[in-house]
Amino acid sequence: MTLIDHLPVFLIAIPILASLLILVAGWWDRRFCYPISLVTILSQFGAAVIILAQVMREGTVRYYLGGWAPPLGIELAIDSFNGFILATILLLSVATVIYARKSVEHEIGPEKTIAFYVLFQLLVTGLVGMTITGDIFNLYVFLEISSIAAYALIASARKPRSYLASFNYLILGSIAGGFILIGTGNLYAATGALNMLDIARLLPASFELATVHAGFLFLVIGYSIKAAFFPLHIWLPDAYAESPSAVTILISTVMSKVSVYALFRIIFTIFTTAYIVDVFPVTGFILFIATVAMIAGAVIAIAQSDLKRMLAYSSISQIGYIMFALGVANQIALEGGILHILGHAVMKGCLFMVAGLIIYRVGTSRLSDLGGIAKVMPISCAAFALAGASMIGIPPTIGFMSKYYLVLGALEAGHWVYAAILLLGSLLAVGYIWRFIEIAYFRDGHDGGSGARTLEAPASMLAPMVALALLCLLLGIFVEGLMEIVGPAASLLLGGA
Amino acid sequence: MRRNVIIKTVSRFLVPFIQVYALYVIVHGALGAGGGFQGGVVFAASFILMIIAFGLTCVRERFNYKWIVMLSALGITIYATIGLLCLIPGGNYLEYGSIEALLGIPHLHGYLIDAVEIGIGITVMATMTSIIYDMGDTGGESS
């Protein structure tokens, strides 16, 4: 075996060691934390890209921990779907950690810097573990690792409201965790297997069992809470709005995406389309709730007076778009949904970075205090406009491409009404994106006393933001290359090769 | 809390036995029921007993936060390092048999499992104790 074959386990084992190294080195000198974290996450990203290339070339990569083949052992399995998600989340993690350095100095006290980087590293590792594992119980273990790191990170803003947000999330997250564990137990009771492919193979024999139905519901509801799917989203606005900017970026782009990934994986790989279409028809219901989420999230977002809170509600709306793909459940819609996982991560990451920069410089994210901000922060507001255009779905951005595939898929499945509602949701997105643009560019306020002084943030915060904004555009233009990964991923979910 | 001589004496007497039992559970993990997690919890229980008998501050002086962090890091390091060492002879992560085959020492995989379990035990013990410290910490003086 060459070193390349061991990359899947390096993705998890090395970062855990690195998080310990950050802890110990941080005691020595606090300045070591950031470089170690950056190098680790960069090398994780590199490894993810290599693995993805290998998957596209040779098919699914499997790694048996301890040399025990399933069903005895735990396996790490990377196919085109989770390879794509893996590269996406690590790309965003790299952007976030570069952005985080200045943001942490500003928002989190120096005595908590070490803890921040340790938890950040653990959160990323937990999410990577969730993405690449091929074992349903292992999925739960990594979910808890990432959740516990996330609770602590949200509370690290050290404001009373952030403690409350973290505690609310802790309660709901624990309920979700309990549901997921019960669901996993039900599947184990029905099949006697924990490996995902094994369960998928054994499950059809017990499709009619009430145990399986209950397990399905527990798993779907549990992961829907973690993904903040519409009626289960109540933890999300506070958690996003009250946590430090760097944490908001990471949990809004990476963490929610991995929960959505887990949901896709459970529904399509474990239960397969045969179950959700014929035995236990839920796709229609999910489709309905997803459209409600789109509209409701967008409408509430328009009503917000705080930039971060507005973006948080917009996330609820966007999760609706991804779940829309799950509800339609055909090839084209799933391609759109998977594309939207990447697209939403990139554009929401960029938007939250702008919000973080505004907090960094102006000290508030209340929309009414941000009049004319574009005159002092031109680059940030331009990035917001670009990512916002992608959020609305203006061609040729990535947001347009994913929504185009979603609508196409819905039309192919004959869901005319839902396709129309999806377009209406995009119109509502114009509402909240334009609101900030209008305040930033056309209102007075920030140009008065400050004169020619620019408020742009340090380059280490601007660079990842600009990079993500440009990615919104470039990914949309060069979408053909992405489709070569997304297409096989979607057909894999539907049970094809 | 009023110091009670019976509680103090009994716990002083019991703590070594609890700890030996914890070590037994940890080492037994390679062969049957038991393992690092359970043993680590039992080991931490001995500290909890001491906290109940002698008070939080007294235990904290002997086993402070810095030790806890170092031990919890050490435990995971033992685990992950042994796991990675298995890659050198060409095995998968945690495939103990590969090292055994390379060095030719019989039953080496059993000892390696024990070493990994000890690592887990150390981390669990340290983490459990730190949880108790944080829960018992009233933010000021403890009564």
Among chain B residues, CA nearest to A63: B92
Q: Do B94 and A66 touch (CB under 8 A)?
A: yes
Q: How many angstroms away from the CA of A20 is the closest CA of chain B?
A: 6
Confidence at residue A205, expressed as pLDDT on a 0 to 100 scale: 87
Query: How many contacts does A have with B, using Cβ atoms within 8 A?
Result: 41
Q: Which residues of B touch A17 (CB under 8 A)?
A: 76-77, 80-81
Closest CA to A77 of A3, A132, A34, A159: A132
Which residues neighbour A228 within 8 Å (Cβ) at sequence distance 6 or greater? A235, A236, A256, A259, A315, A316, A319
Instruction: Please tell me the total number of residues recorded for chain B in this structure.
Output: 143
What distance in Å separates the CA atoms of residue A5 and residue A141, rounded to the nearest whole number? 24
Among chain A residues, CA nearest to B87: A6
Q: How many angstroms away from the CA of B81 is the closest CA of chain A?
A: 9
pLDDT of A155 over the 90 cut: no
Confidence at residue A222, expressed as pLDDT on a 0 to 100 scale: 93
Closest CA to A265 of A306, A299, A219, A319: A219
Is the CB of B71 inside 8 Å of chain A's CB atoms? no
Residue in B90, B93, B96 closest to A13 by CB: B93
Is the CB of B80 inside 8 Å of chain A's CB atoms? yes
Name the band, by pLDDT with cuts 50, 70 and 90, for residue A176: very high
What distance in Å separates the CA atoms of residue B79 and residue B115, rounded to the nearest whole number? 8
Span A260-285, mean pLDDT? 88
What distance in Å separates the CA atoms of residue A92 and residue A88, rounded to the nearest whole number? 6
User: What is the token pair recorded at A112?
Assistant: 């908590």
| Domains of chain B, residue spans | 5-136
Q: Which of residues 60-119 of A touch B (CB under 8 A)?
A: 63-67
Q: Do A65 and B98 touch (CB under 8 A)?
A: no
Confidence at residue A484, expressed as pLDDT on a 0 to 100 scale: 87
pLDDT of B140 over the 70 cut: no
What distance in Å separates the CA atoms of residue A108 and residue A125, rounded to the nearest whole number? 22
Mean pLDDT (chain A) is 87
Span A199-218, mean pLDDT? 89
pLDDT of A365 over the 90 cut: no
Among chain B residues, CA nearest to A64: B92
Task: Report the residue of A11, A16, A20, A75 to disrupt the B interface, i.e. the one with the largest count of B CBs within 10 Å.
Answer: A20
- In three-state form (DSSP H/G/I as H, E/B as E, the rest C), the secondary structure along B60-86 is HHHCCHHHHHHHHHHHHHHHHHHHHHC
Confidence at residue A481, expressed as pLDDT on a 0 to 100 scale: 85
Q: How many angstroms away from the CA of B69 is the closest CA of chain A?
A: 9
Over residues A376-396, the pLDDT tens digits come to: 888 888 899 999 999 888 888
What distance in Å separates the CA atoms of residue B35 and residue B29, rounded to the nearest whole number? 4
User: What ipTM is given for this predicted complex?
Assistant: 0.83
Q: Do A9 and B91 touch (CB under 8 A)?
A: no
Please report, for residues A59, A127, A134, A349, the alpha-carbon distance to residue A62 in angstroms, rounded to integers and kept in the order given: 10, 18, 9, 31
Confidence at residue A497, expressed as pLDDT on a 0 to 100 scale: 46
Q: Which residues of A touch B99 (CB under 8 A)?
A: none
| Domains of chain A, residue spans | 342-497
Q: How many angstroms away from the CA of A84 is the closest CA of chain B?
A: 24
Over residues A86-132, the pLDDT tens digits come to: 999 999 999 999 988 888 888 887 778 888 899 999 999 999 999 99
Confidence at residue B20, expressed as pLDDT on a 0 to 100 scale: 93
Over residues A409-432, the pLDDT tens digits come to: 999 988 888 889 988 888 888 888
pLDDT of A51 over the 50 cut: yes
Q: Which residues of A touch B70 (CB under 8 A)?
A: 24
A173 vs B28, more confident: A173
CB neighbour class for A140 (10 Å; exposed up to 12, middle 13-18, buried from 19): buried
Compute the C-alpha angle A236/A240/A243, nearest 5°: 130
Q: Do B93 and A16 touch (CB under 8 A)?
A: no
Span B123-143, mean pLDDT? 77
Among chain A residues, CA nearest to B75: A20
Is the CB of B94 inside 8 Å of chain A's CB atoms? yes
Is the CB of A121 inside 8 Å of chain B's CB atoms? no
Confidence at residue B143, expressed as pLDDT on a 0 to 100 scale: 41
Q: Do B87 and A64 touch (CB under 8 A)?
A: no
What distance in Å separates the CA atoms of residue A150 and residue A314, rounded to the nearest whole number? 20
Span A304-330, mean pLDDT? 90
Q: Do B93 and A24 touch (CB under 8 A)?
A: no
Closest CA to A398 of A318, A462, A330, A324: A318
Residue in B73, B77, B93 closest to A65 by CB: B93
Confidence at residue B1, expressed as pLDDT on a 0 to 100 scale: 52
Confidence at residue B31, expressed as pLDDT on a 0 to 100 scale: 77
Residue in B70, B80, B94 closest to A16 by CB: B80
Is the CB of B85 inside 8 Å of chain A's CB atoms? no
Q: Which residues of B touch A1 (CB under 8 A)?
A: 90, 92
Name the band, by pLDDT with cuts 50, 70 and 90, for residue A496: low
Confidence at residue A455, expressed as pLDDT on a 0 to 100 scale: 67
CA atoms in the 13 A half-sphere facing the CB of A248: 35
Among chain A residues, CA nearest to B113: A66
Q: Do A67 and B98 touch (CB under 8 A)?
A: yes
Q: Tell me, what amino acid is at B51? A: I
Task: Report the residue of A65, A119, A148 to disrupt the B interface, i.e. the one with the largest count of B CBs within 10 Å.
Answer: A65
- In this prediction the pTM is 0.90
Confidence at residue A231, expressed as pLDDT on a 0 to 100 scale: 84
Closest CA to A59 of A495, A395, A492: A492
Angle between helices B108-136 and B96-103 (to 10 degrees): 140
Residue in A16, A24, A63 closest to B92 by CB: A63
pLDDT of B122 over the 90 cut: yes
Q: Do A67 and B95 touch (CB under 8 A)?
A: yes
What distance in Å separates the CA atoms of residue A346 and residue A482, rounded to the nearest whole number? 14
What distance in Å separates the CA atoms of residue A127 and residue A258, rounded to the nearest whole number? 7
